[in-house]
Amino acid sequence: MKINVTRSSMPSYEEYCEEIKSIWDNHWLTNCGPKHNLLEEKLAEYLGVKKVTLFTNGHLALETAIAAFDFPKGSEVITTPFTFVSTTNAIVRNGLVPVFCDINEKDYTIDVTKIEALITEKTVAIVPVHVYGNICDVEEIDRIAKKHNLKVIYDAAHAFGVRYKGKGICNWGDASMLSFHATKIFNTIEGGAICYNNPSLEAKFKSMKNFGLVGEEECEYCGGNAKMNEFQACMGLCNLKHVDKYISDRKRAFELYVKRLINTKGIILLNKQSDVLNNYAYFPVRFDGYKYTRDEIKDKLAKHDIAARKYFYPCTNEFKCMSAYANKTPIAHNVAKNILCLPLYHELSDEEINLICDIILK
Ligand X SMILES: *Cc1c(COP(=O)(O)O)cnc(C)c1O
Binding site for ligand X (CB under 6 A): 57-59, 83-84, 86-87, 129, 155, 157-158, 179, 181, 192
> Least distance in Å: CB of 215 to ligand X?
29
**Kindly report the CA angle at 180 between 177 and 183, in degrees rounded to 5?**
125
> Least distance in Å: CB of 204 to ligand X?
20
In the complex with ligand X, the residue whose CB is nearer, 172 or 290, is 172
> Least distance in Å: CB of 257 to ligand X?
20
In the complex with ligand X, the residue whose CB is nearer, 339 or 360, is 339
SS (H, E, C) the chain: CCECCCCCCCCCHHHHHHHHCCHHHHCCCCCCCHHHHHHHHHHHHHHCCCEEEEECCHHHHHHHHHHCCCCCCCCEEEECCCCCHHHHHHHHCCCCEEEECCECCCCCCECHHHCHHHCCCCEEEEECECECCECCCHHHHHHHHHHHCCEEEEECCCCCCCEECCEEHHHCCCEEEEECCCCCCCCCCCCEEEEECCHHHHHHHHHHCECCEECCCEECCCCCECCCCHHHHHHHHHHHHHHHHHHHHHHHHHHHHHHHHCCCCCEECCCCCCCEECCCCCEEEEECCCCCCHHHHHHHHHHCCECCECCCCCCHHHCHHHHHHCCCCHHHHHHHHHEEEECCCCCCCHHHHHHHHHHHHC
In the complex with ligand X, the residue whose CB is nearer, 188 or 261, is 188
How big is the chain, counted in residues? 362
> Least distance in Å: CB of 83 to ligand X?
5
> Least distance in Å: CB of 80 to ligand X?
10
In the complex with ligand X, the residue whose CB is nearer, 176 or 207, is 176
> Least distance in Å: CB of 15 to ligand X?
23
> Least distance in Å: CB of 339 to ligand X?
14
In the complex with ligand X, the residue whose CB is nearer, 290 or 312, is 312
In the complex with ligand X, the residue whose CB is nearer, 208 or 360, is 208
In the complex with ligand X, the residue whose CB is nearer, 77 or 267, is 77
Q: How far apart are the first and last CA of the chain?
A: 21
In the complex with ligand X, the residue whose CB is nearer, 184 or 286, is 184
> Which of 322, 315, 302 shows the shortest CA–CA distance to 131?
315
Residue number closest to ligand X, CB atom: 58
In the complex with ligand X, the residue whose CB is nearer, 86 or 94, is 86
Measure the CA dihedral 59/120/197/42, to 10°.
Answer: 20
Is 266 in contact with 288 (CB distance < 8 Å)?
A: yes
> Least distance in Å: CB of 85 to ligand X?
8
C-alpha to C-alpha distance for 190 and 232, rounded to whole angstroms: 7
> Least distance in Å: CB of 61 to ligand X?
8
